[in-house]
Structure 1
Amino acid sequence: MVILFSAKISEKHQERLLEHYPNEKFIFTNGMQEAGQYLEQADVVVTYGEDLNDSMLEKASKLKWIMVLSAGVERLPFKQIQERGIIVTNSRGIHKTQMAEYSLSMMLQVYRQEKQLLENEKLSYWDKSIRVREITGQTLLVLGTGAIGQEVARLAKAFHMTTIGVSRSGRPVECFDQVFTIEAINKTLPSADFIVSVLPSTKETHYLLTEKHFHIMKESAVFINIGRGDLVKTETILKAVKERQIDHAVLDVFEQEPLPEDSPLWSEPNITVTPHISGQSPNYMVRALSIFQDNLDKLIKGESDFTNLVDPTRGY
């Protein structure tokens, strides 16, 4: 079996795979530009999910399985994947710890006025009049109740927060006091002090949030987006903050990445911008390759109960 990596991994991880699977042929590359010449041989392609298009997939005539070493799969050519019956799995679930920590840290950052305190420190300015708040006892609304959303809610419970979830199904999930369907989102927004979105990019979530949704949020609400940038238009967020429809927005994902230097988001004091790093962790690759190896073992044995199987008709 030929296993082609367009996803760059360290020599340490390469050596472990070679040692663990001596009967399989691994081809490690630094990206799809290099990997493209080997696609015709590949039974398995391991990618970050952004570099495999229709024309490249056509070259991979032997391909059985695509392993994505991230959660995002929205750029994959799903029509061809579905037609050819290619298995797709991803690494969802490995981001929950670091992304939940990011979410809680940003809630505290906003409520404890850390941006202003750090600015005052640079200026050697002693100002005890800064108004700080407590996140304890507040209401958290999480858009997306999968592994990440559930971990955000679990950590929020340490601060005795009321936790509300919104999902496609609306079924009950551990760590959430209530869960509603996406269709009922208007009922949930007015009560939320924090809105955290971990939604993937799908047809259903594309520009899901509009101006009307920000109008019904609390003026004191904090909106945190760590899912995908096409959940809401940039100008909608800017308007909501500038017109004080909400108090603050924390954005780790954007419609265009990298965020252009001239974007007005950078200079808006009530917007916190981070460069799509909420999912970063020193344990990221270990966790992702653990899922890959679990599924590779199943493929070798002829089993079909793959971990994190992606439905090509839904795109997640």
Structure 2
Amino acid sequence: MKKMVITRNIDQDYITQINAMIPDWELIVGKDKNIWQEHLKDAEIIAGWHNGIEEYCLAPHSKLKWLQSWSAGVDYLPLEEMNSRNIYLTSANGVHAYPISETIFALMLGLTRKIHTYVKNQQKKTWHHAHMGLEIHEKTIGIIGVGTIGKETAKIAKAFGMHVLGVRHSGKPEDYVDEMYTPDQLDQLLPQCDYVVVTLPLTKETNQMFGAEQFKQMKTSAFFMNIGRGEIVVEADLIQALKEGTIAGAGLDVFETEPLSPESPLWEMENVIVTPHTSGSTDHYNQRVIENILIPNLKEYLSGHIPSINLVNFSKGY
């Protein structure tokens, strides 16, 4: 009997729906590894990844043919080995567009309108203007990575009358983006921006993409947001740029090492907002993964086709 393993707790309605699609399969569902660990080596489909899974599902006699990641980023997965074994890999890309774009603007508005400073003042019962005077309207935003998240961010930016610059590999135009650049044109984009937002996945090409040189190309009044991956930024260079006033401030949800060390100066900086890699958190997460990605992909797979929604290109790393 074929097996499908879902390493997450999901609603019974979804379990019933998936069971109806694969009546002749054994479906194993649950977050506790004791529920599914012994089934991994026999599973043809696995949805959701945990550390240590590769020991079973990538063993010599493993039956795994398709892995549906529960996350958008796949940089932590054994991509080369999966590629060599011709395993299909699909990601949860697109699930985060609403919550992450909301977080991006929360960070941008928080820094612009000094909300983070006022929260600290409130805790101390301090009534102080904090020299607040900046506006977000009609400013220029550079979105580094115009994928699903970047497109939603551009759409919201237009509600603020912002001038939107984008970066994507293809350079292909996109709705709500006024000017599109390619990664090798980053030095042309950065000097124009009042806000620089990184929404890229971590790949060999994006690793340490932002360092001292890039921060020097930015306006001293510009704010830097990173909700992609911490390793895209040389963190020491960012800290130096913030200390020296090379850039005005930063909103950061991701870091080179997580959790962020208590010794990191980023915690104490007045011009920085730190969030603990939660920009994609939402009550609708499982619903979107299952309804928009897993079930449509499962239909394709069962009909003999390659699951096409968010199919990862191993050569690109996303």
TM-score by length of 2: 0.93
2:274 corresponding residue in structure 1: 273
- Write the distance in 2 (CA, Å) between the matches of 1:230 and 1:128: 36
- Write the distance in 2 (CA, Å) between the matches of 1:55 and 1:129: 56
Residue by residue over 1:3-36, the C-alpha shift from the partner in whole angstroms, topping out at 9 and shown as x without a partner, is 1123444556445533554433211242557633
- Write the distance in 2 (CA, Å) between the matches of 1:263 and 1:247: 18
5 Å-filtered alignment, 1:110-259, equals 110-128=111-129, 130-259=131-260
Q: Tell me if structure 2 keeps the 8 A contact 1:7–1:48.
A: no
In the superposition, relative to structure 1, how do residues 262 and 287 fare at CA in structure 2: closer, same or farther (>3 Å)?
Answer: same
The alignment of Structure 1 onto Structure 2 pairs a total of residues equal to 316
Offset at residue 256 of structure 1 (A): 0.8
- The code of the aligned residue for 1:229 comes to G
Q: Tell me if structure 1 keeps the 8 A contact 2:170–2:182.
A: yes
Residue by residue over 1:259-285, the C-alpha shift from the partner in whole angstroms, topping out at 9 and shown as x without a partner, is 122222211121111000100111111
Q: For structure 2, list consecutive stretches of 5 or more residues without a partner in the other structure.
A: none
In the superposition, relative to structure 1, how do residues 208 and 253 fare at CA in structure 2: closer, same or farther (>3 Å)?
Answer: same
1:315 matched to 2:317 = yes
User: SS of the residue aligned with 1:241?
Assistant: helix
Q: Tell me if structure 1 keeps the 8 A contact 2:235–2:256.
A: yes
- Write the distance in 1 (CA, Å) between the matches of 2:165 and 2:177: 6
In the superposition, relative to structure 1, how do residues 31 and 74 fare at CA in structure 2: closer, same or farther (>3 Å)?
Answer: farther
User: SS of the residue aligned with 1:62?
Assistant: coil
Q: Tell me if structure 2 keeps the 8 A contact 1:67–1:89.
A: yes
Q: Tell me if structure 2 keeps the 8 A contact 1:54–1:80.
A: no
- Write the distance in 2 (CA, Å) between the matches of 1:309 and 1:114: 40
TM-score by length of 1: 0.94
1:96 matched to 2:72 = no
In the superposition, relative to structure 1, how do residues 60 and 289 fare at CA in structure 2: closer, same or farther (>3 Å)?
Answer: farther
In the superposition, relative to structure 1, how do residues 237 and 34 fare at CA in structure 2: closer, same or farther (>3 Å)?
Answer: farther
Offset at residue 239 of structure 1 (A): 0.4
Of 68-77 and 47-56, deviating more is: 47-56
Identity %: 34
Q: For structure 1, list consecutive stretches of 5 or more residues without a partner in the other structure.
A: none
Q: C-alpha root-mean-square deviation of aligned residues, in Å?
A: 1.9
Offset at residue 130 of structure 1 (A): 3.0
User: SS of the residue aligned with 1:81?
Assistant: helix
User: SS of the residue aligned with 1:63?
Assistant: coil
Of 91-100 and 121-130, deviating more is: 121-130
